[in-house]
Amino acid sequence: MKKVCVCLVMMLVAVVWSLQSASALPPFNKEWVAKYNPGEKNAAFVEAKCNVCHAGESKKMKNEYGKAVGKYLTKAKYNEIKEDEAAAKKYIQEGLQKAEGEKGGAGKPYGDLIKVGKLPGGK
């Protein structure tokens, strides 16, 4: 009985975790580049591409910055408003702005790291 309860709890945790994950959508990346790397002047940002938020080969794996962004940007919410281009753009920009204030493992806000040209996710 104890094993069954443990399995059920683990399955519940997995379901909840998967529901709150953000998804890298082209509009999220487009707005990120427009906000933080217009004209693609920062070579490190260009080279990192998706790894600004993601870690490794799987796009389901997020670095610490990607997890912070995921608190404010979700695929579900974006899909609700994507038909209204202005609202979708505003949603993404506001989410990125909120994530800027989050602090990473180094104790510095992600916005500060981005401003000095460092990748916020640590790579």
Band of pLDDT at residue 19, cut at 50, 70 and 90: very low
Which pair of tokens denotes residue 89?
A: 């753009």
Q: How far apart are CA 122 and CA 55, in angstroms?
A: 10
Band of pLDDT at residue 21, cut at 50, 70 and 90: very low
The confidence score (pLDDT) of residue 106 equals 83
Residue type, 110: Y
Q: Which of 20-24, 38-42, 70-74, 117-121 has the lowest mean pLDDT?
A: 20-24
The confidence score (pLDDT) of residue 84 equals 96
pLDDT, mean of residues 96-119: 93
**pLDDT tens across 27-68, in order?**
999 999 999 999 999 999 999 988 899 987 788 899 999 999
Question: What letter would DSSP give residue 102?
Answer: S
- pTM comes to 0.74
Tokens 């693609």 found at: 40
